[in-house]
Structure 1
Amino acid sequence: MVKGSFFSGLGYLGEGFRLIRQPGLRLFVVIPLALNILLFGLLFYLLAEFFSSMIAYAMDMLPDWAWLQSLDWLFWVLYGLVILLMLAYGFVILANLIGSPFYGYLSELTEKHLTGQEVSTDGSWDQIIRDIPRALWREVQKILYYLPRALGLFILGLIPVVNLAAALLWLAFNAWMMALQYVDYPADNHRVSFPSLKRTLSDTRLSALGFGLPVALAAMVPVLNLFVVPAAVCGATAYWVRETGLPVESK
């Protein structure tokens, strides 16, 4: 039986937006935000070019059936949704590679704000720098989990008619990935392995999807997506505290 509450999960992103305005958390929002602005401008330009080519290729593949040709607007909408989802998670992947050391510490500060308890005894800049290789490896693990599944959905999206279901599967998969992506920060702070995190989120899958869905949708909105990443880190930390508890450190 799937546990958790989809509707309770929906509230964590809003809580994250409230948390990033706290004075003690702002510094670790501003620094990666500046980097994300530069990153998003470049990524948006590159994927805009890819989007144009993708639409032309997909329309050429359609058989010359009158009823299919009359639905060409629908395929534009569906492929547009898939590309926006790719843009959303592609941006998240790159933004998190750049900001992962900052986001790990942002999660620590958020947890302390919520619980009043220290997560670690060393929050110095030296420790943040030493954590860079470990933080980057966690991001690589998430990318390796994401890519083969995204490739399978991408191939489904190239098949006419089948791509109607592929767009919905993309949305559900991105919601799951967003939850996995951001709850990983507090999990990593507690030295919970990535496989253990997947099992933990599976135990509260409905809450995880409820949290991940608005994050996935907000990540598709230009400008808003720049602020979604730090807000999602704070919201995921609140999710961790309330949905999963605080496990003992084990790797």
Structure 2
Amino acid sequence: MQIPIRSVGPAAAFLFLVQGLKLLNAPGLRRYVWFPILINVVLYSAGFWLASRYFTAAMHWLVPAWLDWLRWLLWPLFALLLLATAFFTFTLMTNLLGSPLYGRLTEQVRRLQASGQIAAPGSEHSALASLFSESRRLGYFALRALPLLALFLIPLINVIAPFLWMLFGAWSLSLDYMAYPLEARGLLFKEQRDVVRKRRLDMLAFGGAVMLGLAIPLLNIFIPPAAVIGATLYILEAERRGEAL
């Protein structure tokens, strides 16, 4: 499997996700792809059912009767808050449930990129160390997501809150999906964060592409495994160019 993208940078980072979508059904990869996609179908179907059933009730609960005169303004605000929370929660659950196969998917992409040859294994680290790295990453996201969500409730500031949330979402998604190929090289959370920080524009472009894909119904089912493939291809290309991680 030869990858046509031979550059890195913001534009190429976006294209790596597109390439990941094209390779979802590639021989040797599909066994690691379709079970996570099934998980996504179940989770998003459950989310859609819950939203359609309880959204109006949640809005009535969040907007008390004495604020009825402001309901026209508060409903869109609380709707954005609920959607942002649901987006973050379902993405987290999807990645958590699919993570055992995403690590294998990363390794298989490396092997296929080597034209079918078995790739040299990355540095080994214990399952406990990987679990610690995952917990650090989840804590990192939560500590920053909660204050950002609170900004939606502050007058005037809530005007820029959606833009800050989108930037945070792009950054978090890039860090989350780049973790799989970087962990395969023995890098834990702190080292992964350092790698991502060195390539801020690339990572925002890649994470923004992932976030856009996750916002599109039906396409969002295929985005998580495609993002794992795209992140792996990005790291492989950076290594091929001799860039230090």
TM-score using structure 2 length: 0.80
Unaligned runs of 5+ in 1: 122-130
Aligned letter for 2:225? P
Written as runs of structure 1 = structure 2, the 5 A alignment for 1:221-240 is 221-240=216-235
Match 1:173 to one of 158, 168, 176: 168
Give the aligned partner of residue 127 of structure 1.
none
Instruction: Say if 2:124 is the partner of 1:120.
Output: no
* SS, match of residue 160 in structure 2: helix
Q: Report the Cα offset of residue 47 of structure 1.
A: 5.2
* SS, match of residue 20 in structure 1: coil
Matches of 1:86 and 1:233, distance apart in 2: 23
The sequence identity of aligned pairs, in percent, is 31
2:133 and 2:188 in contact (8 A); partners too: no
Written as runs of structure 1 = structure 2, the 5 A alignment for 1:87-106 is 87-106=86-105
Deviates most, 36-45 or 133-142? 133-142
2:174 and 2:207 in contact (8 A); partners too: yes
Give the aligned partner of residue 124 of structure 1.
none
The CA RMSD over aligned residues, in Å, is 3.3
Aligned letter for 1:57? L
Aligned letter for 2:42? L
User: For residues 144 and 175 of structure 1, do their structure 2 counterparts lie closer, same or farther at Cα, with a shift above 3 Å needed?
Assistant: same
Instruction: Say if 2:155 is the partner of 1:160.
Output: yes
TM-score using structure 1 length: 0.78
User: For residues 70 and 51 of structure 1, do their structure 2 counterparts lie closer, same or farther at Cα, with a shift above 3 Å needed?
Assistant: closer
2:102 and 2:180 in contact (8 A); partners too: yes
Instruction: Say if 2:201 is the partner of 1:200.
Output: no
1:19 and 1:110 in contact (8 A); partners too: no
Instruction: Say if 2:182 is the partner of 1:187.
Output: yes
Q: How many residue pairs were aligned?
A: 233
Q: Report the Cα offset of residue 87 of structure 1.
A: 2.6
Instruction: Say if 2:137 is the partner of 1:142.
Output: yes
Q: Report the Cα offset of residue 112 of structure 1.
A: 2.0
1:186 and 1:236 in contact (8 A); partners too: yes
Matches of 1:70 and 1:225, distance apart in 2: 31
Deviation per CA, 1:43-62: give whole Å up to 9, x if none: 34445636863586369898
Matches of 1:62 and 1:243, distance apart in 2: 54
Unaligned runs of 5+ in 2: 1-7
Matches of 2:243 and 2:189, distance apart in 1: 14
Give the aligned partner of residue 41 of structure 1.
45
